[in-house]
């Protein structure tokens, strides 16, 4: 039984990895929006988590005070308790759903940050080649190699804190 569950989990993970919708950041936003709408409706109706807990407590106390002779009233109160407990469980489930949506949203944001940072990242060699090409182009366009070196040196200072030494050592 245990190995079947592990195999099933492996299949679900593989399916999730191939699911492009998993990285769609609109999903947790939609869940959050739905829960917020649900909670707003409840607040508008004054149906809050605290109210449900308080009502359940009062109905439990009432159930204890009813005599065994009044079976119909006890059954009604038991049904009320069940409804209130279902509502409390629903509140708990909604909060858990929000927590999961928030975790998913954070994981998606981290994934996209890493993915996009990787695309924008440039190795030090690529940066040096790029700045050298810019310096050569500037030198050709403005005909002033000193100005091109100065532009490269400024770019080197801004982008790498001067680690490349561009502008001082590159001959145009």
Q: Please tell me the predicted confidence (pLDDT) of residue 169.
A: 46
Specify whether 10 is located in the same domain as 73: yes
94 and 17 in a common domain: yes
Note whether 110 and 58 are same-domain residues. Answer: yes
Q: How far is residue 130 CA from its own chain's centroid?
A: 35
In a domain, 172, yes or no: no
pLDDT above 70 (res 168): no
Average pLDDT, the chain: 77
Task: With cut-offs at 50, 70 and 90, classify the pLDDT of residue 166.
Answer: low
* 38 and 12 fall within a common domain: yes
Interval 111-125: pLDDT, tens: 888 777 766 667 777
Domain membership flag for residue 142: yes
Q: Express each pLDDT in 1-39 by its tens digit.
A: 556 776 776 777 777 777 777 777 788 888 888 888 888
DSSP 61-120: HHHHHS-TT-HHHHHHHHHHHHHHHHHHHHHHHHHHHHHHHHHHHHHHHHHHHHHHHHHH
* 111 and 142 housed in the same domain: no
Residue 100 lies in a domain: yes
């Amino acid at each position: 039984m245990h190995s079947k569950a592990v195999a099933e989990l492996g299949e679900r993970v593989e399916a999730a990895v191939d699911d492009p919708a998993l990285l769609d950041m609109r999903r947790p936003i939609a869940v959050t929006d739905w829960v917020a709408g649900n909670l707003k409706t409840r607040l508008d109706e004054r149906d809050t988590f605290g109210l449900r807990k308080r009502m359940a407590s009062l109905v439990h106390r009432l159930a204890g005070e009813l005599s065994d002779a009044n079976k119909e009233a006890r059954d009604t109160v038991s049904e009320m308790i069940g409804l209130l407990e279902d509502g409390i469980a629903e509140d708990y489930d909604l909060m858990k759903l929000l927590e999961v949506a928030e975790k998913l949203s954070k994981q998606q944001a981290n994934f996209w940050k890493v993915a996009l940072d990787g695309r924008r990242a440039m190795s030090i060699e690529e940066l040096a080649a790029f700045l050298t090409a810019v310096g050569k182009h500037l030198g050709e366009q403005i005909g002033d190699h000193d100005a091109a070196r100065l532009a490269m040196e400024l770019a080197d200072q801004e982008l790498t804190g001067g680690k490349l030494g561009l502008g001082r050592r590159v001959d145009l």
